[in-house]
Amino acid sequence: LNDASPLRIQPQNPIKLYFRGSMSEYLRNNTFTTYISLDEIYIYNSDNEFELVTEVIVPDDVTIIKVNLFRIYSLLEKVVLHENVQKIESGAFMNCEFDLICYAIEPPVLSADATWNYRNLNIYVPSESVELYKNAENWSRFDNILPIN
């Protein structure tokens, strides 16, 4: 197994993935986009135990959120995008209901079909950028664009 491969897959229902290493490695390699559906993702924590993933902080060197990256994983509660994210591709947040915190001052390019859940996602952006996001192409579809506190 390489660093971006699952350590263990439980093929029964629900589908569970177990990973070693950091979430950053898997995001850089788009590991999750290869699965049609995931019910649970576990990753080794600092105590050498598997921990359920409910929050993702996208690493600073990831500038594009790839096609379908999180669409298959409904247990996410929060995703944090740093200020260097430039583009969010098709289906990236499809079928997800979580808080999205985006530190980019200028709204990243957002695919029209990045999600269908425009009412179920809370989008938090820098306070000086709230109006930019509310008026930006495809971001304007979201009901809840709020300032980061």
Q: How many whole angstroms separate alpha carbon 61 and alpha carbon 52?
A: 24
* Beta-carbon contacts of residue 17 (< 8 Å; ≥ 6 apart): 6, 8, 9, 35, 38, 40, 41, 42
Q: For 59, phi and psi rounded to 5 degrees?
A: -65, 155
Q: How many whole angstroms separate alpha carbon 142 and alpha carbon 123?
A: 8
**Looking at residue 134, what is its pLDDT?**
96
The residue type found at 132 is L
Residue 127 pLDDT more than 50? yes
pLDDT tens-digit profile of 12-56? 445 555 555 555 555 655 555 555 455 556 666 666 667 667 778
**Looking at residue 97, what is its pLDDT?**
79
Task: Name residue 80's beta-bridge partners.
Answer: 57, 101
User: pLDDT averaged over the chain?
Assistant: 75
> What is the pLDDT averaged over residues 107-125?
85
Residue 13 CB-density burial (10 A; 0-12 exposed, 13-18 middle, 19+ buried): exposed
* 112 vs 3, residue with greater confidence: 112
**How much of the chain is helix, strand and coil, in % rounded to 5?**
15, 30, 55
**Looking at residue 57, what is its pLDDT?**
80
pLDDT tens-digit profile of 63-110? 888 887 776 566 778 888 999 999 998 888 877 778 899 999 999 999
* 57 vs 31, residue with greater confidence: 57
* 42 vs 127, residue with greater confidence: 127
3-state secondary structure at position 94: coil
Q: How many whole angstroms separate alpha carbon 52 and alpha carbon 141?
A: 31
